[in-house]
Amino acid sequence: MQRFHDKRPDWLPALVIGLLKGVLYREADARLWGVLLDLQARVRDHVAVLGLDLIVDEAEGYAFLKSRTQSEGQESEAQAGGTLAMPRLVARRPLSFPVSLLLALLRKKMAEFDAGGSDTRLVLTRDDIVELMRVFMPTSANEARLIDQIDTHINKVAELGYLQRLKAVSGPPSFEVRRILKAFVDAQWLADFDARLAAYKLHLSGEAGMQGEAGGHTSGEGA
């Protein structure tokens, strides 16, 4: 791969600012990606001062910043010494149960896709994603409401950057599953996927049971 050797001083802040905003993809900006590969040692040193690590996956074509974890012992030591812990620049976002489930299902789909073909782009229609989620969603007689709920989860995953909506002239909406998902859901997590799905099903059956009890109680009051 051709590397770019334009090392003007303004490339470093441009790279750091871009990475602080989000994931840098090779396909989105090949020139900036080439500059990053040439200057990644300098970028690592620069972001390390901010308590961040640079993660670069050349094979998959993406790079992002990750906050360094601080152990409880380090935090206690900092407090005892009267110093402040490094503030988190890359915020952690709490995920709802359905969004976590969708991310897990997409990651499993990607693993199956990678094992079965040479294409690097996994594209799913909205209907494909609905079918992935339907099995694990609480039973509902209202099909339109169920699909609306799944659409909400799909939009959240797209907002997080793990799905990219593709332009379509006709037909159902389609999404590309971004390769960065492999960094979020690692191989060890995927290895425990079956156990996690069992927990998901238990969680959903508990929700359905509570809804059934609540429904029975209401009808009893009305009788």
Walk me through the domains of the chain, giving residue ranges and CATH numbers.
11-80 (1.10.10), 97-222 (1.10.10.580)
What confidence score (pLDDT) does residue 207 get?
A: 55
Query: What integer pLDDT is reported at residue 91 of this predicted model?
Result: 53
What pTM was computed for the model? Answer: 0.67
One-letter amino acid of 102: L
Q: What is the pLDDT of residue 206?
A: 64
Buried/exposed 98-133: b ≥16 CB within 10 Å, e otherwise:
bbbbbbbbbbbbbeebeeeeeeeebebebeebbebb
Copy the structure tokens of residue 131: 């079918």
pLDDT of residue 85: 46
> Could you give the 3-state DSSP secondary structure of residue 56?
strand
Q: How far apart are CA 71 and CA 68, in angstroms?
A: 10
Element (H, E) at 53: strand 52-57
Amino acid identity, residue 9?
P
Question: DSSP string spanning 155-203?
Answer: HHHHHHTSEEEEP-SSSS-EEEEPTTHHHHS-HHHHHTHHHHHHHHHHH
Q: Using CA atoms, how far apart are residues 209 and 205, in angstroms rounded to an integer?
A: 6
Mean pLDDT of successive 10-residue segments in the chain (223 residues)?
A: 52 87 89 92 91 91 82 44 46 74 89 81 92 80 85 92 85 89 77 71 61 38 32
